[in-house]
């Protein structure tokens, strides 16, 4: 932040610069000659411009008038120092937005402007930091959202067609077994068994009967001589 001070080179210029420097502002001094002062003004972009009328007041008036109307500097505060009394009306008419001040008044005004400029710079810095954080958060959110939307779907394994089941060979046909004859019923077998047992007992009883009295019985054993009765 600086003050552009337009003053022709002279013995008084150094003392006047020292008074203005007490404000704490950075003072850039040059003569009001075209185009040097204008190129300097565009390059430095000072917070204010001060034109000293102590030497060549007509030339100083034209210089101040150009600065007040130029697009690059028309919004820059303009201060006029040591304006001659006979030029006061003309200066106020042509440069109504300019302030006519002394070195002490200008130094005080510069101090206030310096503090205000610092406060504005701090506000801009903080606003820029907030804007960067907001933009960063928005960018992260957008990136996250885009990543969620563009994430490739989960890869699905191709469904393989089931292989046709192999048919098991049919078992060889069983040979038909000959039909078994119906076994005799249990009751018939039991009846025959009882009957056989009865016949067996009957034979045994007949064989064991003794000969009746008065009869002679000849018993002949095979391989033996016949027995004679007495």
Asked if the model's pLDDT at residue 67 lies above 90, the reply is: yes
Q: What is the 3-state secondary structure (H, E, C) of 174-194?
A: CCCCCCCCCCCCHHHHHHHHH
Asked if the model's pLDDT at residue 160 lies above 80, the reply is: no
Tell me: the pLDDT tens digits for 13-34? 999 988 888 878 889 999 999 9
Both structure tokens of 220: 């002949």
**Range in 30-44, 65-79, 193-207 with the lowest mean pLDDT:** 193-207
Nearest-angstrom CA–CA distance, 80 and 61? 9
**Separation of CA 111 from chain center:** 51
Identify the pLDDT of residue 215.
Answer: 44
Tell me: the pLDDT tens digits for 122-136? 898 999 999 999 999
What does pTM read for this prediction? 0.55
Please state the rounded mean pLDDT for residues 205-213.
58
Please state the rounded mean pLDDT for residues 140-152.
77
Please state the rounded mean pLDDT for residues 32-56.
94
What kind and span of H or E run contains 79? strand 78-81
Tell me: the pLDDT tens digits for 166-202? 666 766 666 666 665 555 555 666 777 778 888 877 7
Domains belonging to the chain, first-starting first, are 2-117 (3.40.50.2300)
Nearest-angstrom CA–CA distance, 79 and 14? 18
């Amino acid at each position: 932040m600086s003050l552009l001070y337009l003053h022709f080179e002279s013995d008084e210029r150094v003392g006047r610069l020292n008074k203005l420097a007490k404000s704490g502002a950075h003072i850039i001094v040059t003569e009001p000659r075209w185009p040097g002062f204008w190129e300097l003004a565009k390059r430095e972009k000072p917070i204010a411009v001060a034109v000293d009328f102590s030497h060549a007041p007509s030339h100083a008036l034209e210089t101040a008038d150009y600065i007040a109307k130029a697009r690059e500097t028309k919004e820059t505060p303009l201060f006029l120092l040591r304006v001659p009394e006979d030029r006061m009306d003309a200066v106020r008419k042509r440069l109504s937005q300019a302030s006519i001040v002394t070195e002490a008044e200008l130094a005080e005004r510069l101090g206030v402007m310096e503090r205000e400029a610092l406060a504005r710079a701090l506000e801009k810095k903080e606003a820029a930091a907030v804007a960067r954080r907001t933009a960063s958060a928005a960018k992260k959110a957008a990136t996250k959202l885009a990543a969620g939307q563009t994430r490739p779907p989960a890869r699905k394994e191709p469904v393989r067609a089931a292989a046709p089941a192999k048919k098991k060979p049919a078992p060889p046909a069983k040979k038909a077994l000959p039909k078994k004859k119906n076994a005799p019923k249990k009751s018939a077998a039991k009846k025959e068994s009882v009957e056989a047992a009865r016949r067996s007992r009957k034979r045994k009883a007949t064989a064991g009967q003794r000969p009746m009295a008065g009869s002679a019985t000849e018993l002949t054993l095979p391989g033996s001589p016949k027995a004679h009765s007495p």
